Amino acid sequence: MIFKSLAVLAIMALMPTHALALHVFNIPTKLNIDNSKVTAIVGPIDEAMAASVELQLMSNKDLPGDRLVLIESPGGSVQAAATIIKLLEAEKLRGFKLVCVAVGFAHSAAFNILSHCDVRYATVGAEMLVHKIAIGGANERLTAKNLRKIAAEIDAMNKSIDLYNANKMHLTLAEYNKKADAETTWSALELVKLGYLEDIVTIAP
């Protein structure tokens, strides 16, 4: 499975054109992908990225076929990731498959997005980081009461994410939690063996 360079694909994601389209047919998963229907999630997951994803989805929403999603991200905001996941789930409801490729790395919140794809691939040497939600900052005084409230909110968010990721990784919840608590980095090959990734792909010029 060979794609054009990431730079070209990222540009194509913002341009409603078929001029440089590369068609990929993968028999085992019966996917017919036109890479003019690309959504690129490259960089930190934040509100700006969520807005970019929405724009990309809208720009080629009327093109037929499965959607190719390229993910190269260190992670970021859980809330922004939830917004992106909601946008991608809407594509599923419209009858399109999400074919996602982790390019180089998909860490933290980006891994959570990857988990919601119908078919998952990664490039050679790609790594995925799995860990629990952490606080990056607080807008209120960190009293004991507020800390307990924040902890309860984090536990609730973790529970939903943990169950989903554990299922996609074919791990028990206990196995997943052990790895997530240790902030484990998984190689693409390890995740292929687990059945989380379909296969490893190559991006060629």
Q: Which long-range contacts (C-beta less than 8 Å, at least 24 apart) are formed by 15-19?
A: 15/59, 16/59, 16/60, 16/63
Our count of domains for the chain comes to 1
Show the domain range for 172: 2-203
Rounded to two decimals, what is the model's pTM?
0.76
Among 187, 69, 176, 63, residue whose Cα is nearest residue 119: 69
The H or E element spanning position 181 is helix 173-181
The answer to whether the beta carbons of residues 121 and 99 sit under 8 Å apart is yes
**Structure-token pair, residue 173:** 């919840």
Give the contacts of 49 (CB within 8 A, at least 6 positions apart).
Answer: 41, 43, 73, 76, 80, 84
Amino acid identity, position 109 = A
Specify the pLDDT at position 9: 46
Label residue 26 left, alpha or beta by phi (over 0 means left) and psi (-120 to 50 means alpha).
Answer: beta
User: Taking each helix axis from N to C terminus, what angle separates 173-181 and 144-168, rounded to the nearest 10 degrees?
Assistant: 120
d(CA 94, CA 191): 28
Model confidence at 132, pLDDT cuts 50, 70, 90, reads confident
Is 80 in a helix, a strand, or coil? helix
23-32, 136-145, 171-180: least confident range: 23-32
Specify the pLDDT at position 203: 61
Give the contacts of 129 (CB within 8 A, at least 6 positions apart).
Answer: 75, 105, 106, 107, 108, 111, 183, 184, 185, 186
d(CA 83, CA 105): 20
- State the average pLDDT for the chain: 80
Model confidence at 133, pLDDT cuts 50, 70, 90, reads confident
Q: What is the pLDDT of residues 18-57, one digit of tens each?
A: 333 444 455 455 555 656 688 999 999 999 999 999 999 9
pLDDT of 98 higher than 50: yes
- Report the CATH number that the domain containing residue 114 is assigned in CATH: 3.90.226.10
pLDDT of 134 higher than 50: yes
